[in-house]
Amino acid sequence: MGSPIVLGIESSCDETGVGLVRDGQLLGHVVASSMDEHARFGGVVPEIAARAHVHAVRPVIQRALDDTGLRLTDIGAVAVTTGPGLAGALQVGLAGAKGIAYALGVPLYGVHHLAGHVAADTLEHGPLPDPCMVLIVSGGHTSLLLVRDLARDPIVHLGDTLDDAAGECFDKVARVFGLPYPGGPAIDRAARTGDPRAVAFPRPLTGSPDRAYDFSFSGLKTAAARWAEGHAGRELPVADGAASLQEAVADVLTRKAVAACAEHGVGTLVVVGGVAANSRVRSLAEERCLAAGIELRVPPLKLCTDNGAMIAAVGDLLVRAGAEPAPLDLSIDPSAPLEYATLHPAASLAGAAR
């Protein structure tokens, strides 16, 4: 008999995701998004997101089970995102996970959201090489990580976001350009007919030896806004602006990632997170990794954005590694740093921190 089936629940932002994984194999997953409800506000509204999770979590769990021909009693472990993310949204997912784990008498695991993005790649390409370089590029996070055994070892940060992450930059510039929310896909679509060399946008922190692997996209965001303002009274060449912005972001991300692989002697680069769905980030990463003799791994588009499969994947790794389940007073940590894949903050400690 193999490992137990792990149910994963993700509710850190505006997607309610549920996934089912066993022995590294994705059995099925379902995602319900409240994105349309946030679009008119130009960004995610925490209270709207939390209420959407309340309405969606139970039907999404049932759909995931139905799609895979499983019953709730087939679940052998539950994994849930406990941070980082929106506090109210995280609480909904955790409450659901605790209820299921308690009712079934199965172990519960708290999972770091960003570790979930890393584990998502294992569902497509198998176990991660030890070591590997991971570039996480999402709405609120841009990080370069040296990863060994994801279930057991600490995660080494080579660089992180200093201010705006790549996804934030896309969202904010899209609004300036008059493009819809979410900005990343809108920028990608608009860039298809644009000239990536039309605007000489800056490449932030590419000449800073002491910040070699850190990321800062606030200056690029400001440069794009100033460029748009310079067209006041004239038609804005949105396609050229979008293509040039996308090229600048992809250039910085892939340049630093490939350089980190070379410096640390790592032969595999894994690019994950919502912005990993960007067409130029993917194609430029392919070009540069091929030239440098580095294996590139990028999850399929359906596993790049937030989903429950990635959380179940971490839970599956933890189960197979014999990791200690979470205590009954498991709480959330909305601003948790990424140190380990597990994230088991206690309610008493969370209260003391406040």
Tell me the DSSP string of 169-202.
Answer: HHHHHHHHTTPPSSHHHHHHHHHTTS-TTSS---
Whole-number pLDDT of residue 353? 44
Whole-number pLDDT of residue 1? 59
For the record, the structure tokens of 102 come out as: 């308690």
Q: How confident is the model at residue 348 (pLDDT cuts 50, 70, 90)?
A: low
**Alpha-carbon torsion (125, 308, 36, 250), positive or negative:** negative
Whole-number pLDDT of residue 130? 95
Least confident range of 139-143, 221-225, 316-320:
139-143
Mean pLDDT, range 309-332, rounded to an integer: 97
Which residues touch 340 (CB under 8 Å, ≥6 apart)?
A: 112, 115, 154, 155
Which residues touch 61 (CB under 8 Å, ≥6 apart)?
A: 7, 9, 18, 72, 96, 100
Mean pLDDT, range 200-223, rounded to an integer: 93
Q: Give the pLDDT confidence of 65-93 residue by residue, as tens digits.
A: 999 999 999 999 999 999 999 999 999 99
Which residues touch 285 (CB under 8 Å, ≥6 apart)?
A: 250, 253, 254, 257, 269, 271, 296, 298
Provide the Cα torsion 140, 145, 149, 151; round to 10°.
-20
Strands (E), 210-257: none
Query: In whole angstroms, what is the distance from residue 185 CA to residue 289 CA?
Result: 24
Task: Give the residue with greater pLDDT, 42 vs 348.
Answer: 42
Mean pLDDT, range 260-269, rounded to an integer: 98
Q: Using H for helix, E for strand and C for coil, what is the string for 89-107?
A: HHHHHHHHHHHHHHHHCCC
Give the angle 271-276-40 at the CA atoms, nearest 5°.
150
The phi, psi pair for 208, rounded to 5°, reads: -115, 100
Give the angle 319-111-70 at the CA atoms, nearest 5°.
55
Residue type for position 212: A
Task: Give the residue with greater pLDDT, 27 vs 354.
Answer: 27
Query: In whole angstroms, what is the distance from residue 348 CA to residue 300 CA?
Result: 39
Whole-number pLDDT of residue 40? 81
Chain-centre distance for alpha carbon 335: 14
Mean pLDDT, range 114-129, rounded to an integer: 98
Q: What is the DSSP string of 306-330?
A: S-HHHHHHHHHHHHHTTPPPPPTTB
Q: Does the structure show a pLDDT above 50 at 24?
A: yes
Q: Does the structure show a pLDDT above 60 at 255?
A: yes
Q: Pairing state of beta strands 15-22 and 268-272?
A: unpaired
Q: Give the pLDDT confidence of 153-174 residue by residue, as tens digits.
A: 999 999 999 999 999 999 999 9
Mean pLDDT, range 174-201, rounded to an integer: 97
Mean pLDDT, range 241-266, rounded to an integer: 98
Whole-number pLDDT of residue 43? 82
Give the angle 4-6-12 at the CA atoms, nearest 5°.
165
Q: Does the structure show a pLDDT above 60 at 139?
A: yes
Q: Does the structure show a pLDDT above 50 at 106?
A: yes
Q: Which long-range contacts (CB under 8 A, 24 or more apart) does 175-179 make?
A: 175/42, 176/224, 176/225, 176/228, 177/224, 177/228, 177/236, 177/238, 177/241, 177/242, 178/236, 178/238, 179/238, 179/242
Q: Give the pLDDT confidence of 25-72 residue by residue, as tens digits.
A: 999 999 999 878 888 888 889 999 999 999 999 999 999 999 999 999
- Report the 10 Å Cβ neighbour count for 210: 6
Q: How confident is the model at residue 354 (pLDDT cuts 50, 70, 90)?
A: very low
Whole-number pLDDT of residue 352? 46
User: Does the reported pTM lie above 0.75?
Assistant: yes
Whole-number pLDDT of residue 156? 98
Q: Does the structure show a pLDDT above 70 at 330?
A: yes
Query: In whole angstroms, what is the distance from residue 87 CA to residue 264 CA?
Result: 36
